[in-house]
């Protein structure tokens, strides 16, 4: 029964929001392809805002909001790993 549930269960859609200024500051060119691949999944809706008024977080490290929850990391590669983990939950 569990296998059937896994096969036919709908995957939850995650909403991810980014600050454009934060991405400009912390997103590395090498990470761009991996981010694009992750964000192009059909269960992910994402939006970039010019500013999210989270200046303290924005200056310190890369971050994103996943379904309203703040996810911050040391660098853009770590942020991508954390985003993937959060979406799986």
At 51-62, the pLDDT tens digits run 999 999 999 999
Q: What's the confidence (pLDDT) of residue 89? A: 80
Structure confidence at residue 12 (pLDDT):
79
**pTM > 0.75:** yes
Q: What is the pLDDT of residue 8?
A: 57
Q: Where do the structural domains in the chain lie, given as residue ranges?
A: 14-87
Q: What are 16-75's pLDDT values in tens digits?
A: 999 999 999 999 889 999 999 999 999 999 999 999 999 999 999 999 999 999 999 999
DSSP string, 5-72: HHHHPPPPPEEEEEEHHHHHHH--GGGHHHHHHHHTSTTEEEEEES--S-HHHHHHS-EEEETTEEEE
């Amino acid at each position: 029964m569990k296998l059937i549930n896994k096969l036919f269960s709908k995957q939850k859609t995650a909403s991810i929001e980014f600050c454009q200024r934060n991405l400009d500051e912390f997103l590395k060119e090498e990470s761009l392809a991996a981010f694009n691949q992750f964000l192009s999944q059909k269960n992910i809706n994402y939006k970039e805002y010019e500013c999210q008024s989270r200046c303290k977080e924005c200056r310190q490290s890369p971050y994103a909001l996943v379904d309203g929850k703040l996810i911050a990391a040391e660098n853009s590669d770590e942020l991508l790993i954390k985003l993937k983990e959060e979406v799986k939950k």
